[in-house]
Structure 1
Amino acid sequence: MFENLQQVGGLTAMVVDDDPQLRALCRALLERDGWSVIEAADGAKAVELARDQPPDVFIMDVMMPGMDGYDATRALRADMMTANTPVVMLSARVEPDAVIAGLDSGADEYLAKPIHPQEFVLRMRAMSRLRRASRELERSYERLGEQSWALNCLLDFTTALSRAETLEAVYDRMLELAIAMTACRRVMIAISVDNGDLDVVRASRREDMMAGPIARVGTICGEAMASGKTLLVEDDEAAATWAGRPDFDYVSETPSVAIPIKSRDQSVGLICACGRVGQRPFSPQDLEYLELAAAYAASAIHMIQTSKARDAARDAIVVGLAQLAEHRDDDTGKHLERVANYCVEVAEALREDAPYNRIIDDEFINNIQRAAPLHDIGKVAIPDAILLKPGRLSTEERDVMRMHPVVGAETIRSLMAHAPDSAFLRMAEDITHAHHEWFDGNGYPRQLKGEQIPLAARIAAIADVYDALRTERIYKGPMSHDEAVQHILESSGTHFDPVVVEAFYRRHEAIERLATHLSDRKSAVKRHRPTHVAWANAQVEPSSDDADPSSMASPARVDEQAT
């Protein structure tokens, strides 16, 4: 009856029962459904086997000689390796006390003996889904941990660069970061000199420092510099194609990588690394972090040479960190730049009247322009399967997506630990944490209401949604300017602060010009009659439907993923 349902495949179940016939029945049902099966005749044996062969699901009998199912389940829950592995408990006892005892010991399911084959298979499929979800969550936490570590490394690096007053200090920090992030035994930093050659300015090995300049012509480093693109040599076969070059040593121990240091689209140097510990391959994200580091270093070098290091390096940090989140979505384009400029327009409009003329000064304008691009930095923690999903998100996926303001705020707070007096970072935290809050309290993640929402976040919310509405994505077409303005006006008092909406409306023509000037592509968008003119003339109160976020006439997922 259930043969046509999708099989599990790729997962392992451990059947723990002192009855060999029941074990055989479970094995037959499970293997037919794509499971691999391990057997154990008692609880103690199951605990022992699980240390060497941890399964994806346990099927645990209750009454067994020696260690019974209750004690075995408790032992598995106490072990870090099996603490989160689902347990399905089997027993002929089905009275409430027995079921409660089983669940209290740590079981996830409780099935009665004799087992019903169809129910058993379907329950196990449910456990497989639970296990896969648990694994994905664990992987997400691992990725978040790796990303947090990398971001902190980059933060320390950029903080050091902002304080560096000499090129020598920049080179020192570059070498330290490259060694840490590549885990390579051999790392060197080379900088272009006036005659076009590359001078090795820092290296992890003394021999490389003493080797002399590297020619730009006929060398591996020279070709990487000329292309301006990262050169990745993944294995010995790939390395062999470079044999005979004067600088072959720099790529001979695979995997190896050469990353240009580019300033204003010109390669000014190179980071080379080879001999990675464990020969672990470089992942695309490893390379992205290294390329970001190279970009920061290039910025610091250029600014020191032009006596403007600190301010410009800080701006580069903002752009780099924001792009780390946005880079994963190929459709974002100039989203960050547009949102920043829209925020400035709205803030300038608010500044014209009391009481905001006492709150919004030049520093506020400058800070919001640099802080707004960080609004979605928390998306580094969102799995690609959710972030890039072309259709509507499920409830579970939406809950994961709604964690990105919290993750983003935590990331900004970690930056603030290194710069506690930074008003710009304080504003970035406000925007990151609260740009999905609604003025009527129906937003997320904290359900803030009214002026509980920081002013900068109330401004950024409108800028972000307007740009999302105007932008074409794989899951929706773009709105015209008039349609987007009308949507925002209709959301006044529900999604958005009415005062900020008025300021937005006063500048909507300038905002439309910015949207056109900074558009990702030129496309013909049908213009509709500007129905928002009636709103401007009548100033009617929002309808009762606007109080319900689910009733708003907006494209799917604008407030979940597009912004």
Structure 2
Amino acid sequence: METVLIIDDSGINLRTAKEALDDYYNVVTANSCKMALRYLEKHTPDIILLDIQMPEVDGFETLKAIRSLPQTEDTPIIFLTAQDNVADEIHGLELGAVDYIHKPLQPQIMRMRIRTQLDLAHYQDHLEEIIMQKTEQVARVETALVASLNDLLEIRDGMTGSHVRRTAKYFEILLNALDKAHTFPDAITPDYKVRLLRGAPLHDLGKVGISDNTLLKPSRLSPEEMEFMRQHSTFGGQALTHAVEIVGEDSFLSDARDMAYYHHEKWDGSGYPKGLAGEDIPLSARILAVADVYDALTSQRSYKDAFSHEKAVSILLDEDGTSFDPRIMQVFRQITDEFAQAKASFSSEAKA
């Protein structure tokens, strides 16, 4: 049975309301703000009826106190009033009341107004649950889509697929560290992190547009082949731009597009494909660039041996302020051990 809390300093009003509601609800009464708050410390009613004109603490202040409690911040509150004051009603609604019931109390009207607000609250709870379920479903679909695209990329080129997974992990480590250090507090929000972590694995999507002769070549690329290989960032960026045009800029795909396009840009403007410099490079791409180069340096290729963790870190730090954002590198310096641990775990998986 739903619980109705009635707060009124008048014993007569409390009895009248309780008699009208007892057959329909579990009714709890309180004759003051203090008594009500004491009850609310341990219980959460489904709806609250609150008198405005009370001694010591009036209904408006009592409403504020109730709304300050986490468990009742969304509980429907209906004001009880003997006054016919429009300004007071507006004030109460602005504070968060959902309705007014005028005295003297009419049992049938009171029950109908309570039922209406309870039904609205239940509907809103159900709607929020549906929205949450749909949001989680969309997130799962997005994750599955990214995984499928990476699987296709790995079928085409196993080396790129492994690189994507490792780079995504290094990226996550660095992103979390930047968040913890409050390096970019206005940019790195919880939602932004989710979007970036979902989109980072798509940064090399454009390599599907590179011919097998170039992508799978077992030896070092010629200058012409290297120039063609560099087009993968443009191919990926363009493909994801088309996706964004369909779903809109508020999708994680807009961040994936930025990372695909610009993760080879350099802080000093000497990168590609646009030659962007400094903060003109999207933050997501500036972070990803560090993770991407670290993995490239510590990975074996047919034409080169893998650098050690220490050597790779040294090379990256030498590029502080040249290839990489100095603020990002300041945080990277502090978490190189975490990169080493992640690298070791990947090595263990490869041997297993």
Category of TM-score, reference length = shorter chain: 0.5 to 0.7
Kindly indicate whether residue 127 of structure 2 is the aligned counterpart of residue 330 of structure 1: no
2:265 pairs with 1:437: yes
| 1:346 pairs with 2:174 | yes
Are 1:521 and 2:350 counterparts?
yes
Q: Which amino acid aligns with 2:147?
A: V
For 2:193, the aligned partner's letter is I
> How far did 1:486 drift?
0.6
Q: By how many angstroms is 1:510 displaced? A: 1.2
Give CA-to-partner distance per residue, 1:396-427, whole Å, 9 cap, x none: 21221111111101110121122104341111
1:260-283 per-residue CA deviation (whole Å, 9 max, x = no partner) reads: xxxxxxxxxxxxxxxxxxxxxxxx
Deviates further, 415-424 or 437-446: 415-424
Distance verdict in 2 for CA 1:416–1:307, change over 3 Å: closer
**CA offsets, 1:333-372, max 9 Å, x none?**
5322221221122122222345512211111221121111
In proportion to residue count, which structure has more strand? Answer: 1
**Contact 1:439 / 1:495 at 8 angstroms: preserved in 2?**
yes
Task: Specify which of 264, 271, 275 is matched with residue 447 of structure 1.
Answer: 275
Matches for 1:37-436 after TM superposition, within 5 Å:
309-332=137-160, 334-354=162-182, 356-436=184-264
Q: CA–CA distance in 2 between the matches of 1:307 and 1:406?
A: 31
Q: For 1:397, what is the secondary structure of its paired residue?
A: helix
User: Is the CA contact (8 Å cut-off) linking 1:340 and 1:368 kept in structure 2?
Assistant: no
Residue 501 in structure 1 maps to residue 329 in structure 2: yes
Determine the structure 2 residue equivalent to 1:458: 286
Give 2:256's aligned amino acid.
A
Give the distance between the partners of 1:507 and 1:396, measured in 2 at CA.
Answer: 37
TM-score by length of 2: 0.58
How far is the alpha carbon of 1:332 from its aligned partner? Answer: 3.8
SS in 1 for 2:246: coil
Change (3 A) 1:448 1:423: same
Q: Check conservation: 1:378, 1:408, Cα contact below 8 A.
A: yes
Letter in 2 for 1:504: F
Q: Which amino acid aligns with 1:424?
A: F
The 1:307–1:343 alpha-carbon spacing in structure 2 relative to 1, beyond 3 Å, is: closer
User: What is the DSSP-based 3-state SS (H/G/I as helix, E as strand, rest coil) of the residue aligned with 1:442?
Assistant: coil
Q: Describe the SS at the equivalent of 1:438.
A: coil
Contact 1:324 1:377 in 2 (8 A): no
Q: TM-score, normalised by structure 1?
A: 0.37
Equivalent pairs counted in the alignment come to 219
Provide closer, same or farther for how the CA distance between residues 516 and 375 of structure 1 changes in structure 2, counting only shifts above 3 A: same
Q: Distance in 1 between matches of 2:351 and 2:328?
A: 29
Cα distance per residue 1:206-254 (max 9 Å; x no partner): xxxxxxxxxxxxxxxxxxxxxxxxxxxxxxxxxxxxxxxxxxxxxxxxx
| Partner secondary structure for residue 444 of structure 1 | coil
Contact 1:437–1:444 (CA under 8 A) maintained in structure 2: yes
Name the structure 2 match of 1:96: none
What is the root-mean-square deviation of aligned Cα atoms in Å? 2.3
Secondary structure at the aligned position of 2:275 is classed as coil
Q: Which has the higher helix share?
A: 2
- Answer whether contact 2:181 2:331 (CA < 8 A) is retained: no
Q: Which amino acid aligns with 2:350?
A: R
Match of 1:469 among 292, 297, 315: 297
What is the percent sequence identity of the aligned residues? 39
Structure 2: how far apart are the matches of 1:421 and 1:318? 17
Matched residues in 1 for 2:161 and 2:254: separation?
26
Q: Structure 1 stretch 397-406 or stretch 429-438: which is displaced more? A: 397-406
Mind listing any 5+ residue stretches in structure 1 that lack a counterpart? 1-305, 524-563
> d(CA) in 1 for partners of 2:179 and 2:139?
25
Q: Deviations over 1:440-489 (max 9, x none)?
A: 11111110011111010011111011111111222221111111111100
